[in-house]
Structure 1
């Protein structure tokens, strides 16, 4: 970790760094993402957008005037309204990466706030005849949190993925967040970096390598198996892994768990190859059932691996209704370990 990250992050995120001599740190997904954004930002011409209170914490935590100068130059306060926050004139990047941008927003569920990203930024390279690149990253929570009700509990990755020109990334571990965020910042295209608020406290091993990256568009096999494939992303990845362990113990069924990590571009080859091996597919996602990423994967499997399927594809999604506020109803609406287990049992005819 760089000097500025060591000084700033413990105060900002309330987590302490481990001994720098060890090969890996245990960090939460949020700490890893914020750490990479700040560290890269102070080391390069990266422009960062945060809330006023976040900026105040960052620039006052260390008495070093050099930190103050860098923070005040690189980190800019922005309004709480998402439509002003996502794309003010001060956030525009340079096409040669001499001045990139990372816009950290309160939520990616705010539809009024993303018009400029969908209508202008996503189309800029095409409409300029390839002349104007827009290397910008929009990062923030996607999907449900804990009892924040309907307007802040929407998983909108399918909507973003439906706009050519945007790349859509959804990490499920701290290590993935670190590697994918670096790749997103270095990419020439606008990237929607979608985090899951319920996962911000989940810790995991993270490579110490400062230049650790994960290519966009490459899925990860989180657990190998031979009897059934589960494709999960973001919040449903740990649920799928728990379900796979329970199924193995109770029914001696070997389940493979695949995390696409990048929704667009989608690594469909890894999924197809897995289905050709296991002959069964369950898709677990937090978004709604209709017109989801899971629907796209299901159709693609029908095109490329239909003859290998021994059972219909089964999909687990959030119920087709606005998210309830009540805790028990919210739990009933979302995917769960139990729902994934029942889906695997159904396709395996248990």
Structure 2
């Protein structure tokens, strides 16, 4: 029998569900809205059972009208409620950019601190069975660019629950970016409510030869790549920023000062992306005392493809991450992991957060 303080393995989607449920039990002002949140599949399981537990007045579906429904959520937040608005796909948050960027993010400032917008937006990114150009984009850099918006990217179930509860308690709009390929991964998660603080990076694995900063699902890919590199004698330090904005760059800079080599792996385009921001902060750092080699991996400057073959070339993978890291550590090396090694690495389950 488990106790309220016990820790057990939960899947990512189960942790999102539990975080929301505990936040709703803790505060009657919290409600959930969004397209199909009360569907029998429950947004890949992340909202299952919530309508039965809290009723249709606190968990309800919305029309397919992102702009209008985001306005409803912002208005409710201004009026003292604490909505969790599920957008499902980040791609379609473009339809409510004015609401998020000009209203939600700015109202606290424009009204002299008298207005708060405690809004949580859940949204998914990432490839999976050919999501293609309009259903797979990671647009987190756009939102992180805007003062007043917080952007978090849990890479494991532990952080998914803790960041959800922290986001609900925060008095500012928070965007939770969830990668669809993480939904079935497991981590050890406490039963009782807890928070994962914003603005604190995590050292996932310690190493001495190269620092890999990985965003969202790329943390899992980087861990797999580190296994391949370890067999070649390369010691990798992996850092998960956890939150995109606010970004804890001090932890990254401290690691880079140790290793002298930095590889940033993102779930978005390289141009003007979060990888460029991290690179700039490293370049401007007053912590780093040595010359640093930097490389970035992310999306090429083209639309996300649909077919699996092109997806494999488009998205960073354990193989491409390992080869890029090896190139930084040993430019003369011609090493390339074989496909069988990479396939075996993919089968290993991420237990995070370490």
Q: Distance in 1 between matches of 2:266 and 2:168?
A: 26
Quick check: 1:104 aligned with 2:59?
A: no
Query: Which structure 2 residues correspond to residues 204-243 of structure 1 after superposition, within 5 A?
Result: 204-208=187-191, 210-243=192-225
How has the CA–CA distance of structure 1 residues 340 and 300 changed in structure 2, closer, same or farther, with 3 Å as cutoff?
Answer: same
The answer on whether the counterparts of 1:85 and 1:105 sit within 8 Å (CA) in structure 2 is no
Q: Distance in 2 between matches of 1:218 and 1:123?
A: 24
Q: CA-to-partner distance for each residue in 1:211-230, whole Å, 9 max, x for gaps?
A: 32111000011101111100
* TM-score scaled by length of structure 2: 0.85
* TM-score scaled by length of structure 1: 0.86
Q: Distance in 2 between matches of 1:325 and 1:211?
A: 39
Aligned match for 2:178, one of 195, 203, 221: 195
The secondary structure found in structure 2 opposite 1:151 is coil
Aligned match for 2:297, one of 294, 316, 328: 316
How has the CA–CA distance of structure 1 residues 68 and 232 changed in structure 2, closer, same or farther, with 3 Å as cutoff?
Answer: closer
CA RMSD of aligned residues (A): 2.3
Aligned match for 1:51, one of 35, 44, 49: 35
Aligned match for 1:131, one of 114, 124, 127: 114
Q: Distance in 2 between matches of 1:237 and 1:57?
A: 27
Matched with 1:4 is: none
Q: Distance in 1 between matches of 2:173 and 2:207?
A: 35
Quick check: 1:165 aligned with 2:148?
A: yes
The answer on whether the counterparts of 1:47 and 1:91 sit within 8 Å (CA) in structure 2 is no
How has the CA–CA distance of structure 1 residues 71 and 55 changed in structure 2, closer, same or farther, with 3 Å as cutoff?
Answer: farther
Shift in Å at residue 205 of structure 1?
Answer: 1.2
Matched with 2:258 is: 277
How has the CA–CA distance of structure 1 residues 77 and 341 changed in structure 2, closer, same or farther, with 3 Å as cutoff?
Answer: same
Quick check: 1:340 aligned with 2:321?
A: yes
The answer on whether the counterparts of 2:127 and 2:180 sit within 8 Å (CA) in structure 1 is yes
Quick check: 1:290 aligned with 2:271?
A: yes
Matched with 1:80 is: 64
Q: How many residues align?
A: 322
Q: Distance in 2 between matches of 1:278 and 1:124?
A: 43
Aligned match for 1:182, one of 165, 169, 191: 165
The secondary structure found in structure 1 opposite 2:141 is helix
Q: Distance in 2 between matches of 1:189 and 1:141?
A: 20
How has the CA–CA distance of structure 1 residues 226 and 328 changed in structure 2, closer, same or farther, with 3 Å as cutoff?
Answer: same
Unaligned runs of 5+ residues in structure 2 are 43-47, 334-354
